[in-house]
Each structure stands twice: as C-alpha cells, then as structure tokens.
Amino acid sequence: MALFMKVQASSLIAGLRRGRPVSGRRALVTMGKVELKAPPYPLDALEPHMSKRTLELHWGKHHRAHVDNLNKQIEGTPLAGKSLEEIFLNIYRGGAYRNNIPVFHNAAQAWNHTFFWESMKPNGGGAPTGMLAEAIARDFRGFDNFKAYFRHAGMNQFGSGWAWLNTNESGKLMIFNTPDAMNPLVETKLRPILTVDVWEHAYYIDFQNRREDYLNTFIEKLIDWDVVAKRYAAAQQ
Amino acid sequence: MAFELPPLPYEYGTLEPHVDSMTMQIHHTKHHQAYVNNLNAALDKFPELKDLGLVDINKAVGTDKLPTEAATVIRNNGGGHYNHTFFWKVMTNPSNTNGPSGAAKEAIEAAFGSVDEMKTKFNAAAAGRFGSGWAWLGVKSDGSLAITSTPNQDNPLMSGLPDAAAMVPILGLDVWEHAYYLKYQNRRPEYIAAWWNVVNWEQVSANYEAAKAGTVPL
C-alpha cells in the first residue's frame, strides 16, 4: 500500500505559532497517520472565558485521544493516509457504518474539535461585518436573533453534541444542532462555518451545569468572526 | 400532584473519595432538580399523565400513550427523574458495601459466571457508551439478569429502544460527564472502577426481589 504524505508545512508552522488562525478544512496527515493539530493560540489565550485547564484537558486529553485511537484503528487499513473528512464520510456513506462506529466517532470528533478551536480566538466575539453580516441580518432577521437561535440550538441539544452555523452554496445560512459526533457534512450538503461543542466536558470545569452561561460567553467573547467569514466566502466558490 | 426532588439518602460527602461531594451537590441540586422541574412543566399541560406515576410514565415512553408534542420532553425529563432517583439509592457509604449476597448473587453467577465477570461486562458497557448515557444491570422478562446501556436519559423501562435489552433495572451507573468530570475529567474508566466501592448491594438485592415479584423498584 502506498503511503503518501500530505503535510501542509505552512499550516503546520502556523498552527504552532500564536495568533494567525489556520484553515480548518484539511487535517495534517503524515505517513498514513492523522496528527493532532494545535489550536491557533496558546492554551491560556482564551482566559478568562475558557480556562487554560479546560483547553489542557479538552485539547490535550479528549481531542488527543480521538486522534491517537483513530490512528490505531486505521493502521494497516485502506483508511490510513486519508484525511479526516475522507475517513468519516467514507465510513458513513460506504455502508460500513454499523461495523465501524468507533472509527467514525474518532474521525468525526477529531475533525469537529479542530473546527471548534479554529472558530475561536483571544478577544473574540463582537459582530461579523461585510457579506456575512448581511446574510445574518437577512436570514435571521438581525444579529440579536442569530445569537438567540444559535444559543437555542446549543441548549436544545439534549445530551452530548454540537451546535452549527451552516451555509449552502448560495450563501443561505442555517443553524442546527447535532448529537454526539455528528456534523453537518455527514448527512447534508451544507458547509459548516461555525461550531460550539456542547458535550459537558467542553464547559464543566468553567461553568459546571450552566450551559447557557457557557454559550453566551462563547457568543459574546470567543467567536472568531474573521475565520467564520472566510469559511463563508470559501463555501460559495 | 407535582413531582419533587427526593432527598439523598446520605450527605453530599458520604461517597467520598470515590464520588466527590461537589459533584453530588451539583448533580442532585442542579441536574436532577432540572429534570424534575422540566417534567412538571411538561405535565402541566397533560395532567392525566401525572396520575400515571413516574414508573408508568417511563414505561409509556415510545408508545402512543404519550402525546406527540410532549413525547421528547417527557422521555428526557421523565427518564432523567427516574434514573437519578434510582441512582441515589443504589449508592451508599463505602464502608457499608460488601458485595452481592443471597438470591441476587446467585442470579449474577448464573448469568455471568461470577461477580467479577459481571463487573467486567458492566464496566465495558459503561465505558463503551459513547456520549451521554447509563449502564444497567437488570432482570429480563425471562427472569435472568443482563447488562445493557442506554443513551442520554433513556432507560430499559422504555419501549421501542434500539439495541437496549428490555429489563427492570436493579443497578445503574450514570456515565454522563456531569457525573464524574470534576474529579475524573476524561478518565471515565477510573470513575467506573471507583464507583463499585459505593454500590449499595442491599438495595440491589431489594431491587432484585421487587423485579422478580413483577414490580419496578424506585
């Protein structure tokens, strides 16, 4: 089996530097293994809104375990060397889902978490501008309504899961939540442009049971609207 | 009559060091309380369902006894209220717990070979439940014991659940992250192993007798 390297050197280096957000779409794949991509900021950079302790556990243990376990699962199989998207879409659509649920979970969660880190930045929040702002105003009848709908989606995901802002290729925006490891790429043609993790591990250290406070903090203080806008623009090409 | 949050049969710190006091406090006064509040709010619109009682409400999940517009909120919060009420009682002071005895022990050995083998299977069900949920040891309709796990606040009393064996629970473990995150973080297997120290085997025996007699323990 041919092993092929898809290391994107520029994003590897950028991912290790603070500040500059990197494109979340492609995972790092070296020698058939998926790599754990670092968030585009130091683990304490989101304080006080998301603690260093949370990042250490959430990225350093949970996200890392998905990547490590996935690599063990795919070693020596045709999935080795593929990107995360290829792996989880392949499993879900290939009819092999039932027999490969743990692999699906790890691949999807590895992807979801990278997408999540890259949806945030230090001193984030505020409001979107430009075309994205117009689309939000149009599709949700105003930014305040968008915030309420997004928070609602996060609150309404019973148990573990994610809330997503998505676009179709015409630029129409839609919000919904997914359970557990599911993401919009799996069952829809929509492109996600923003996500928030509502598994309890995402907020329990900082907020305990208060998921609503966590969601409000995410919305007001953490969202990287520049990244979201770039993803929005890219989805319409 | 509205449902109420039952008091714990012990202090918040009684299960230390295996389950920490802060977790018990938040788990009981916030999470369980929220299920009670939400269940009451949902049943306000359907007062005839309140008279069913908590066990029969859970048994009605997945059947047409529940109105469509309230089916999900009743499943989630009726399940949550039953599960947690049941859960507090199958735990006790760690110095109280010796191990299964009598008929329950014989039934465990008959179904699994030994208590240790039962624990191995139970641990696997608890660790393997992806996302939020519960692991259960229960009595099936043929009277034998089995182990299963359910997602979210589902339990084996409910109808039409995929993959879960229908059974009357005699022992259950909450593996939602809120049950263990403050002390164990991502180390769920460590939580599961520690939890055996606080299992109330007398209650498990009582639950077993009730299940064999055709009732659902609560």
Q: Check if A98 contacts B (Cβ < 8 Å).
A: no
Residues of B in contact with A61 (CB under 8 A): 185-186
Number of other CB atoms surrounding residue A153 within 10 Å: 21
Q: Give the whole-angstrom CA distance, residue B165 versus residue B155.
A: 10
Decide if A209 and B30 are in contact by the 8 Å CB cutoff.
yes
Long-range contacts of A97-101 (CB under 8 A, 24+ apart): A101/B130
Number of other CB atoms surrounding residue B40 within 10 Å: 16
pLDDT per residue as tens digits for the range A161-176: 999 999 999 999 999 9
Angle, helix B102-112 to helix B115-128, in steps of 10 degrees: 70
List Cβ neighbours of B108 (8 Å cut-off, separation of 6 or more). Answer: B100, B114, B115, B118, B137, B145
Residues of A in contact with B30 (CB under 8 A): 208-209
The answer to the question of residue A21 being in a domain is: no
DSSP state of A33: E
Residues of A in contact with B21 (CB under 8 A): none
CATH number of the domain within which A147 lies: 3.55.40.20
pLDDT at position A99 over 90: no
Residues of A in contact with B28 (CB under 8 A): none
Task: State mean pLDDT over A107-124.
Answer: 98
List Cβ neighbours of A153 (8 Å cut-off, separation of 6 or more). Answer: A163, A164, A175, A176, A177
The answer to the question of residue A213 being in a domain is: yes
Closest CA to B25 of B10, B47, B44, B43: B10
The answer to the question of residue A59 being in a domain is: no
| Side chain identity, residue A116 | F
The number of angstroms, rounded, from the C-alpha of B188 to the middle of its chain's C-alpha atoms is 17
- B178 is an annotated ligand-binding site residue: yes
Q: Give the whole-angstrom CA distance, residue A96 versus residue A98.
A: 6
- A62 is an annotated ligand-binding site residue: no
**Residue of chain B with shortest Cα separation from A62:** B186
Residues of B in contact with A200 (CB under 8 A): 132, 176-178, 181
The answer to the question of residue A90 being in a domain is: no
- B116 is an annotated ligand-binding site residue: no
Please answer whether residues B12 and B25 qualify as being in contact, where contact means their C-beta atoms are separated by less than 8 angstroms.
yes
**Residue of chain B with shortest Cα separation from A106:** B130
pLDDT per residue as tens digits for the range A118-129: 999 999 999 999
| Side chain identity, residue B141 | S
pLDDT at position A11 over 60: no
In this structure, what are the phi and psi dihedrals at residue B147, rounded to the nearest 5 degrees? Answer: -120, 140
| DSSP assignments along chain B, one per residue | ----PPPPSS-TTTTTTTS-HHHHHHIIIIIIHHHHHHHHHHHHT-HHHHTT-HHHHHHHTTSTTS-HHHHHHHHHHHHHHHHHHHHHHTB--GGG-----HHHHHHHHHHHSSHHHHHHHHHHHHHH--SSEEEEEEE-TTS-EEEEEEETT--TTSSS-SSPPP-EEEEEEE-SGGGTHHHHTT-HHHHHHHHGGGB-HHHHHHHHHHHHTT----
The answer to the question of residue A197 being in a domain is: yes
Phi-psi region of B115 (alpha: psi -120 to 50; beta: other; left: phi over 0): alpha
Q: Which of B131, B181, B182 has its CB closest to that of A159?
A: B131
The answer to the question of residue A31 being in a domain is: no
| DSSP assignments along B7-30, one per residue | PPSS-TTTTTTTS-HHHHHHIIII
Q: Check if B29 contacts A (Cβ < 8 Å).
A: no
Task: State mean pLDDT over B170-190.
Answer: 98
| Side chain identity, residue A197 | D
pLDDT at A28: 61
Decide if B186 and A204 are in contact by the 8 Å CB cutoff.
no
Q: What percentage of chain A carries pLDDT values higher than 90?
A: 81
CA-to-CA separations, A171 to A135, A232, B27, B29, in angstroms, rounded: 7, 7, 42, 44
All domains in chain B, ordered by first residue? 21-89 (1.10.287.990), 94-212 (3.55.40.20)
Structure tokens given for A64: 């890392």
Q: For the whole model, what pTM was predicted? A: 0.92
pLDDT per residue as tens digits for the range B134-165: 999 999 999 999 999 999 999 999 998 866 67
Task: State mean pLDDT over A65-86.
Answer: 95
Residues of B in contact with A201 (CB under 8 A): 177, 181, 185-186
pLDDT at A12: 38
In this structure, what are the phi and psi dihedrals at residue A153, rounded to the nearest 5 degrees? Answer: -60, -40
Number of domains in chain A: 1
pLDDT tier at A6, thresholds 50, 70, 90? very low
User: Tokens 């439940």 belong to which residue?
Assistant: B129
List Cβ neighbours of A212 (8 Å cut-off, separation of 6 or more). Answer: A151, A155
Select from A156, A208, A210 the residue whose CB has the most chain B CBs within 10 Å, as the one to mutate to test that interface. A208
Q: Check if A161 contacts B (Cβ < 8 Å).
A: yes
Decide if A159 and B130 are in contact by the 8 Å CB cutoff.
no
pLDDT per residue as tens digits for the range B78-132: 999 999 999 999 999 998 768 999 999 999 999 999 999 999 999 999 999 999 9
pLDDT at A27: 52
Select from A73, A88, A105, A209 the residue whose CB has the most chain B CBs within 10 Å, as the one to mutate to test that interface. A209
The answer to the question of residue A184 being in a domain is: yes
Question: What is the average pLDDT score of chain A?
Answer: 89
Decide if A209 and B185 are in contact by the 8 Å CB cutoff.
no
Residues of A in contact with B152 (CB under 8 A): 158-159
The answer to the question of residue A56 being in a domain is: no
Closest CA to A92 of B163, A197, A84, A112: A84
Q: Give the whole-angstrom CA distance, residue A82 versus residue A29.
A: 7
Q: Check if A2 contacts B (Cβ < 8 Å).
A: no
Q: What is the residue range of A137's domain?
A: 130-235
pLDDT at position B202 over 50: yes
Q: Give the whole-angstrom CA distance, residue B81 versus residue B4.
A: 9
pLDDT tier at A14, thresholds 50, 70, 90? very low
DSSP state of A48: T
- B51 is an annotated ligand-binding site residue: no
